Amino acid sequence: MAEWVSTTAVADRNPYWKLELKDSIRLETWSPTLQPIVQKILNDRALNVDDGVALFNEPNLFELGKLALLHKQSMFGQRAYFNSNVHVNQTNICVLACRFCAFRRGKRADDAYALSIENYLEELSKFSPYVNEVHSVGGLHPDWDVDHYAHLFESIRSEFPHLSIKALTAVEIKHLSKLSNLSIRETLIRLKRAGLTSLPGGGAEILDDGIRAVICNGKESSQEYLDIHKTAHQIGLPSNCTMLFGTIESAAQRVEHILKLRDLAAQTHGFQCFVPYPFLPDSSRLPMAQLSTGQEILRVIAASRILLDSIPHIKAYRMNIGDELAELALQFGADDIDGTVQQESIMHLAGSTAPLSHDLQQLSKLVHNAGCIPIKRNTTYTSFEEYNPPRTIKRLPMA
Ligand code: SF4
């Protein structure tokens, strides 16, 4: 099977994608509402908040999807990516209580847990022969400081040297730096030395402090989220970024969020993937929130692809939106469906029913069914391998 490499900043994206895109979009073929945006793209002018809102309000979802798909195809052709990973959520004990969070527990709750390093390694050992990445995020444990996590990462590296470690969201980094009396930079350097490979993007929610005060009071501010990722990029730790949509935000606030990430990515080139995912509401946490519809999820993915020219990959996070919509999203601008995952608590406690038992063959089949070429990637999007699904067994003709 074909294998190749790329750099973190390029992440397998065609460096001439803008030229190819311009060759593939003819102004007069688009609906009148999209034409001003297409004109800006043809003239290399940056899209602004009004353009973003127009994308979110575009009446013709399929035209919007087509424009996003052309962006994706000019960047990656027919390729779509996934990796071979396992999620280990190290603790659900958290000193905060974000209103959207169904995962956190107080220290004395009956179902509170905190995996010791030995238990964590034991859990990981069940999956380590089959994966090349461990993804770990969890609650803000009141006692676990940077030494605890440095020890954990050193132990993972020593026991499972083939694994990349993608761990700790921005708020977890902030919490560790406070507990340890270190700056954000010192904290990240210490963790990188211990073996941390990259940061996941969780915790961005909506980068608007008014919204944050309602849905996740006490979490890092919008600017702190951006600054923590900027510092990570400066010391050579790539990261992902996310958007939790469907709580109480407006279309303009979604667009402002996306453009803040776009502008930081253009400076640092350290964001690899943007992961938008909808809030999965239940009546007790944010009763004013509504479950996003399928068309709304596809619209967010498509608009994100068109707006985010400085971030290479857009993920359809199947743990949250399910396999069927993830497959469809590959035709609406997404180019990545995350990984094998194996076990996951945060989305599933919030109501996700996405299957956890997928292996690489099932993921490649999902990509193939969407009309794309399945590509297995590593954590940092620097190493790639075409991964074709097994041939389907033909049914015997009925006698
Ligand atoms: S989202 Fe994170 S920080 Fe907020 S309560 Fe849940 S675990 Fe804690």
Total structural domains within the chain: 1
Q: Quote the DSSP letter at residue 350.
A: T
Q: Is the CB of 289 under 6 A from ligand 1?
A: no
Domain contains 252 = yes
Higher confidence at residue 103 or residue 169? 169
Contacts of 49 (CB under 8 A, 6+ apart): 252, 255, 256, 259
Domain range spanning residue 312? 79-84+170-386
Sign of CA dihedral 177, 181, 185, 190: negative
pLDDT tens digit sequence for 218-233:
999 999 999 999 999 9
Domain contains 20 = no
Closest C-alpha among 361, 309, 305, 293 to residue 331: 305
Contacts of 316 (CB under 8 A, 6+ apart): 301, 325, 326, 329, 330, 334, 336, 337, 338
Q: How far is the CA of 98 from the centre of ligand 1 (A)?
A: 5
pLDDT at 353: 67
pLDDT tens digit sequence for 150-168:
999 999 999 999 999 999 9
Q: How far is the CA of 155 from the centre of ligand 1 (A)?
A: 25
* CATH code for the domain in which residue 185 is found: 3.20.20.70
Residue 115 to residue 354: CA distance in whole angstroms: 24
Is 0.85 surpassed by the pTM of this model? yes
Average pLDDT, the chain: 92
Domain contains 111 = no
Q: What is the 3-state composition of the chain as percent helix, strand, coil, each rounded to the nearest 5?
A: 45, 15, 45
Q: What percentage of residues in the chain have a pLDDT greater than 70? A: 93
pLDDT at 160: 97
Contacts of 383 (CB under 8 A, 6+ apart): 3, 4, 5, 6, 377
Domain contains 207 = yes
pLDDT at 394: 45
Domain contains 35 = no
pLDDT tens digit sequence for 184-218:
999 999 999 999 999 999 999 999 999 999 999 99
Domain contains 63 = no
Across the beta sheet with 271-278, what order do the strands follow?
239-245, 271-278, 313-314
pLDDT tens digit sequence for 107-161:
999 999 999 999 999 999 999 998 999 999 999 999 999 999 999 999 999 999 9
Query: Atom 2 (ligand 1): residue with closest C-alpha?
Result: 139
Ligand 1 atom with the smallest distance to the CA of 171 is: 3
- Do the Cβ atoms of 326 and 356 come closer than 8 Å? no
pLDDT at 343: 66
Q: How far is the CA of 91 from the centre of ligand 1 (A)?
A: 11
Query: Which parts of the chain are beta strand (E)?
Result: 3-5, 79-83, 85-87, 133-136, 164-167, 239-245, 271-278, 313-314, 336-339, 373-377, 383-386
Domain contains 134 = no
Helix or strand holding residue 318 (H, E):
helix 318-329
Domain contains 230 = yes
pLDDT tens digit sequence for 26-42:
888 999 999 999 999 99
Contacts of 211 (CB under 8 A, 6+ apart): 205, 247, 248, 249, 253
